[in-house]
Amino acid sequence: MRIDKFLANMGVGTRTEVKQLLKSGSVFINEQKEKSPKKQIDPNNDIIKINNEIIQYIDKVYLMLNKPKGYISATADNQHQTVIELVKSYQFLEIFPVGRLDKDTEGLLLITNDGAFNHELMSPTKHVSKTYEVISEKNITNNDINSFKMGIELNEGLAMPATLVKSDEPYKSFVTIYEGRYHQVKRMFHAIDNEVLALKRVSIGELKLDESLGPGEYRHLTQQDFKQLGLNL
């Protein structure tokens, strides 16, 4: 990889800024001053320093975001704020959200730049479970629980069986679905003559939203988190 690309990808600056930095003589490759932006490096083995500070190589990134309401799950948009704008320090790695939460939905959203990771969790054939906390207009009944278990009829066909669990708090329930159709939870509630008033994703597979993250905050996934997702990375 070219040194200028490496430095730009690691967020040191734009390609132009990085070229200027090289020209100024502040960049060192294995303790040797390097001025050429074309110099090839091995990011896994070479030690790159700027004014004595090592620039760590980050290739893939995996983040857990507590998505706040009001942000859309996209990388760029002319009208709305996107979830990627909340993760400014990693934007240079071409990150994207793993699946989508509606603008008014909050909670657990994974962010990565790894297409294979995205595929493992989002592929319709994998049926990774997702659990949502729901505040609904009406309290749910045993009949509703049974309807979800049987599979709710949606416009485009029968949804897979889902688990609906009543909470002790009025109007609150937890629903676990195994697919990811457009507005799925809202449409399932609508189909049983109820409406979702607030929606928060609380888990994906066995991975739970880290409740120490405030809305808009994020952290890196840990090895334990990968295990909970059933992935070996």
Residues labelled as active-site residues = 102
Shortest Cβ 152–ligand URA spacing (Å):
12
Strand partners, 164: 175
How many residues of this chain bind ligand URA (CB under 6 A)? Answer: 8
Smallest distance, Å, CB 35 to ligand URA? 50
Q: Which two tokens stand for residue 69?
A: 């309401």
Site for ligand URA (CB under 6 A): which residue of 27, 101, 108, 207? 101
Stretch of 12-20, 82-90, 98-106, 120-128 contacting ligand URA, by CB under 6 A: 98-106
As given in the structure block, the two tokens for residue 151 are 């599979």
User: If 0-12 CB within 10 Å is exposed, 13-18 middle and 19+ buried, where does residue 212 land?
Assistant: exposed
**For ligand URA, which stretch binds (CB under 6 A), given 4-12, 101-109, 110-118, 152-160?**
101-109
Shortest separation between residue 183's beta carbon and ligand URA, angstroms: 4
Query: What does the per-residue mask of binding to ligand URA show for 155-184, with x meaning CB under 6 A?
Result: ----------------------------xx
* Element (DSSP H or E) covering residue 116: helix 115-122
Asked if residue 200 binds ligand URA (CB under 6 A), the reply is no
233 by DSSP, 3-state: which? Answer: coil
SS3 category, 31: coil
| Cβ–Cβ < 8 Å for 176, 206 | no
Positive/negative CA dihedral, 54, 60, 61, 62: negative
* Residue number with CB closer to ligand URA (9 or 73): 73
Amino acid at 187: R
Q: Does 186 bind ligand URA (CB under 6 A)?
A: yes
Contact footprint for ligand URA (CB under 6 A): 101-102, 105, 183-186, 199
